[in-house]
Chain A
Amino acid sequence: MPDTQQQSVGFAGPDRLGHFGPYGGTFVGETLVAAVEELAAVYEEVSKDPEFWAEYDHDLKYYVGRPSPLYLAERLTAKAGGAKIYLKREDLNHTGAHKVNNTIGQALLAKRMGKTRIIAETGAGQHGVASATVAARLGLECFVYMGAEDIQRQAPNVYRMKLLGATVVSVESGSRTLKDAMNEALRDWATNVDSTYYIIGTVAGPHPYPQLVRDFQCIIGRETREQSLEQLDQLPDALVACVGGGSNAIGLFHPFLNDTSVAMYGVEAGGDGIETGRHAAPLSSGVPGVLHGNRTYLMTDAGGQIMETHSVSAGLDYPGVGPEHAWLKDLKRVNYVAATDAEAMQAFHQLTRLEGIIPALESAHAVAYAMKLAATMAPEQSIVINLSGRGDKDIQTVAKLEGLTL
């Protein structure tokens, strides 16, 4: 169940219309309003239904393989030279990332609503794979919208989706990445609203998506909390997670929001460096605005056009961020920082060589920042990194950066 008792103090949100402070909301065209209102009404009912959550928990245990371990990375800890570094192993989930926690939940919603067709947007392809997976399992038709550039970058995941029976639709408009895939999925939804359920992959989009995706990802933080008390005898001193749209980060952070002793760091994609402008870090350098159904921090130019973003990791290459993160930034509860492409690449290799774990390039951003942070902390302190996905999908990208072809 969503941790409602946590919400009662300090960080309650969203309100009934989906606002987190000044952020969030429902900024969609009238053609979609009925669909999001229906979803909000169904979710409000379902979120109070123990049977729904029992089915969700059952699927997470027997299909996804939860709980995922909390693993002490001893050699990484030694290398960083400070606080103990633990990894929350979301990379060990079925399909290889945290994304499946959400698609399992939303597929159950789709089933309840009697929808026969699923659509999704994807950047790195992890959410697309996780959506295609649950669609295959439930026998639903599945269309995944993916930017043409991302299709190039993430060929293995494209093929996985096809193997799972999904149709991958190449999006050629705009910057041909995640944001454009989301535009196209919204257009599809407006056109096929009766039959179709739109599984948004992150804590963005119109209400109720930021809330329901968060609730489905909170399993990460709840397990981490329990595992910390069991394995460390206390809560960790810091949590670190990468932030693109921000679903893995909010999933880890949310159950700890009222634990004031726990510091939190959301790591955005610094690309070539914040100062170069070639990055994907709206919380580090953006301004509030409205995109894809919600008000949040965005990378926009002076005229309000959404800017093209850059990151080595397709999953972080998005000009916006979930509205709850925008709010947590303003409330100063979470520190939002950035790691560059180069730092992420270095961390990718370090974790691979030191621990035998190949991380997703997205997660490598969190590893990079956590190692810097650990060095500033005492050995008796501890950090939990959300290792949100595994890096098999990225080996071609990495090889290319090193001048190799596979």
Chain B
Amino acid sequence: MSRISEVSSTAAQQGRKLLIPYLVAGDPDLETTLKLMHQLVDDGADIIELGVPFSDPSSDGPVIQKGVERALSRGTTLVEVLALVADFRTTNKHTAIVLMGYLNPVERMGYAHFVEGASSAGVDGVLIVDLPPSEASAIKPLMDTKGIDTIFLVAPTTTDARAAQIAANCTGYLYYVSLKGVTGAALIDTESVRQSIEKLRRLSDLPIVIGFGIKDAASAKAMGSIADGVIIGSALVEKIAELNGETPHTVERLRAVSEVIRLARGALDER
């Protein structure tokens, strides 16, 4: 059983919602990212989505774009991101790690080389934003062989037929994009999300988590009530921006950044 499946089935047994923070690896530097990952776990993260910086993040809103630019200004590479995961794994064996990014850095490294590296670093899942299932037939079997989950997005505009195709190809969890647009965009219409999630339930037994636009404890709680978990990205990256590149960070500073996750955990766990 993959680590993602273990984490989510344990959560399901305990009646607990998955909390998945997203942060950009190397924002503002790799050392801080590593410390923040551990802090996020302390504050209740079940899975961490680690953004792999790419120069042209065309599915991301301004907050994450800036995080990516901060990471790239220090020259953060995919090789370093894999090393970061390996570092994290030396002390943490239970939190699942998902790499989220764009295809070109993976193509440049080569699919086989990437999958091998991700596997030995301890990566549990990969979500390549600009790689739909129809273009994933070369990389997916390699990931399957190594037991790395291939996660795909489902959007409000996704047709039923396509949702079925995505569900058939996806492993780990289904990532439901709660709104039209880019990461960090505006408001979520809870009722329409609920209907879409219900439809997805009929297509897949995978956990369904919601991302794009969840920015605080209240929206986390609202979305948590209709799905198996929530992803919080822009709201966290916005806090990381406030670190302003200063290092080293005190535990208090890191705890302050992670507060949005701590509050979301509290709200998700309320009965």
Q: Min CB distance, A319 to chain B, in Å?
A: 9
Do A174 and B104 contact each other (CB < 8 Å), given the known contacts A29-B129, A31-B181, A33-B155?
A: no
| Residue among B59, B79, B103, B154 with max Cβ neighbours from chain A (10 Å) | B59
B181 surroundings in chain A (CB, below 8 A): 31, 187, 190-191
Closest to A30 in B: B153
Residues of chain A in range 15-31 having any CB-CB distance to chain B below 8 Å: 17, 25-31
B108 touches A187 (CB 8 A): no
Question: CA–CA, A383 to B54, complex, Å?
Answer: 42
Identify the stretch in A102-110, A270-278, A292-300, A374-382 within 8 Å (CB) of chain B at 4 or more residues. Answer: A292-300
B56 touches A304 (CB 8 A): no
B104 touches A17 (CB 8 A): no
* In the complex, B112 has a CB within 8 A of chain A: no
B180 touches A190 (CB 8 A): yes
Question: CA–CA, A28 to B166, complex, Å?
Answer: 14
Do A26 and B132 contact each other (CB < 8 Å), given the known contacts A191-B180, A292-B58, A306-B55?
A: yes
* In the complex, B169 has a CB within 8 A of chain A: no
Do A31 and B103 contact each other (CB < 8 Å), given the known contacts A187-B61, A291-B56?
A: no
* In the complex, B225 has a CB within 8 A of chain A: no
Closest to A185 in B: B58
B162 surroundings in chain A (CB, below 8 A): 33-34, 37
* In the complex, B130 has a CB within 8 A of chain A: yes
B58 touches A187 (CB 8 A): yes
Residues of chain A in range 278-299 having any CB-CB distance to chain B below 8 Å: 287-293, 295, 298
Q: Min CB distance, B56 to chain A, in Å?
A: 5
* In the complex, A1 has a CB within 8 A of chain B: no
Closest to B103 in A: A290
Do A29 and B130 contact each other (CB < 8 Å), given the known contacts A187-B181, A292-B58, A304-B78?
A: yes
* In the complex, A351 has a CB within 8 A of chain B: no
Question: CA–CA, A37 to B161, complex, Å?
Answer: 12
* In the complex, B135 has a CB within 8 A of chain A: yes
Among A33, A186, A187, A306, contact of B104 (Cβ-Cβ < 8 Å): A306
Question: CA–CA, A179 to B54, complex, Å?
Answer: 13
B154 surroundings in chain A (CB, below 8 A): 30
A33 surroundings in chain B (CB, below 8 A): 132, 155, 157-158, 162
| Residue among A35, A190, A193, A302 with max Cβ neighbours from chain B (10 Å) | A190
Among B59, B135, B158, contact of A190 (Cβ-Cβ < 8 Å): B59
| Residue among A35, A37, A288, A291 with max Cβ neighbours from chain B (10 Å) | A291
Do A290 and B107 contact each other (CB < 8 Å), given the known contacts A31-B180, A34-B157, A191-B182?
A: yes
By secondary structure, the B interface counts as loop
A173 surroundings in chain B (CB, below 8 A): 62, 65, 69
B134 touches A17 (CB 8 A): yes
* In the complex, A305 has a CB within 8 A of chain B: yes
A300 touches B56 (CB 8 A): no
* In the complex, A167 has a CB within 8 A of chain B: no
B155 surroundings in chain A (CB, below 8 A): 29-31, 33-34
A403 surroundings in chain B (CB, below 8 A): none
Residues of chain B in range 87-145 having any CB-CB distance to chain A below 8 Å: 102-109, 129-132, 134-135
Do A26 and B134 contact each other (CB < 8 Å), given the known contacts A33-B157, A304-B78?
A: yes
B107 touches A29 (CB 8 A): no
* In the complex, B185 has a CB within 8 A of chain A: yes
Question: CA–CA, A288 to B166, complex, Å?
Answer: 26
A295 surroundings in chain B (CB, below 8 A): 107
Question: CA–CA, A30 to B158, complex, Å?
Answer: 7
* In the complex, A356 has a CB within 8 A of chain B: no
B107 touches A289 (CB 8 A): yes
B79 surroundings in chain A (CB, below 8 A): 303
B250 surroundings in chain A (CB, below 8 A): none
Among B69, B78, B130, contact of A290 (Cβ-Cβ < 8 Å): B130
A303 touches B108 (CB 8 A): yes
A183 surroundings in chain B (CB, below 8 A): 56-58
Question: CA–CA, A306 to B55, complex, Å?
Answer: 6
Closest to A191 in B: B181
A292 surroundings in chain B (CB, below 8 A): 56, 58
B153 surroundings in chain A (CB, below 8 A): 29-31
Please name the 8 residue pairs, one residue from A and one from B, whose CB atoms are nearest each other, closest first: A304-B105, A304-B108, A191-B181, A34-B157, A30-B153, A29-B59, A303-B77, A183-B58
- Give A contacts to B, CB under 8 Å: 17, 25-31, 33-35, 37, 173-174, 179-180, 182-183, 186-187, 190-194, 287-293, 295, 298, 300, 302-306
Pick 20 A–B contacts, CB within 8 A, sort by A: A17-B134, A27-B103, A29-B129, A31-B153, A31-B180, A33-B155, A33-B157, A34-B159, A174-B55, A179-B56, A182-B58, A187-B61, A190-B180, A191-B181, A191-B182, A194-B180, A288-B107, A303-B77, A306-B55, A306-B104
